[in-house]
Amino acid sequence: MFKSRRKKLRPELTNENIEYLQTLKSLVLQLKLIYEKLAKTKIEKDVLTICKTTQKILQNLTDDNSKISGQGLLIDYYLPELVQILNQYIAINSNKISSTQAKETLRQIEKFIPTVKNAFEKILENKATQKSSDIDVDIKIMLDKLKTKQLI
């Protein structure tokens, strides 16, 4: 009905941001492929949740590239390490290694994955909270301008 006369200015997508988004997209794809190999394991459901959460984070960052620079740890450390750990889990689990050390490693990973799931959900939640606080600021600025013009 009404179109905004003013477009929200978004920062230009820099080469670094493009690289980050491509890396994140690749990591999300790797997680999905790993998930497919985790059928009937104790961590299957949590890894699915992690996949969905990282997909939402990717979508949010694609929609608003101004937030990309704050995601260095997620893209450069958390996700690559998670992929590596999950690949180790699959290797141990699929080879049916029954040594005490292998069983302990599987148990550690199974205990660790719900923690990662919760952490990634908090990252996504913080993005939503940040968006909400951006709206709060926009409302406050508009109210201040309306008061200045004695319209309210």
Side chain identity at residue 68, one-letter code: I
Domain membership of residue 70 (yes or no) is yes
Domain for residue 141, yes or no?
no
**Helices 100-148 + 44-63 axis angle, to 10:** 30
Q: How many domains does the chain have?
A: 1
**∠23-25-29 over CA atoms, to 5°?**
115
pTM, entire model: 0.74
Quote the distance between the C-alpha of residue 143 and its chain's center.
Answer: 33
- The residue range of the domain holding 29 is 15-127
Whether residue 98 is contained in a domain is answered as yes
Residues of the chain below pLDDT 70: 1-11, 69, 127-138, 143, 151
The two tokens of residue 43 are 């961590």
97 CB neighbour count, 10 Å cutoff: 13
* pLDDT value of position 29: 96
What pLDDT was estimated at residue 11? 57
Residue 142 lies in a domain: no
Q: What is the pLDDT of residue 23?
A: 92
pLDDT of residue 137: 67
Q: Which residues contact 7 (CB under 8 A, 6 or more apart)?
A: none
What does pLDDT average to over the chain? 83
Is 23 a member of any domain? yes
H helix runs in the chain, sequence order: 15-36, 44-63, 72-73, 79-94, 100-148
| 81 in any annotated domain | yes
Integer Cα distance of 81 and 74 in angstroms: 10
Over the Cα atoms of the chain, what is R_g? 21
Predicted pLDDT of residue 145? 72
Whether 135 maps to a domain, the answer reads no
Burial of 137 by CB count in 10 Å (0-12 exposed, 13-18 middle, 19+ buried)? Answer: exposed
Is the distance from CB of 38 to CB of 94 less than 8 angstroms? no
Position 133 in a domain: no
- At 15-56, the pLDDT tens digits run 888 888 999 999 999 999 999 999 999 999 999 999 999 999
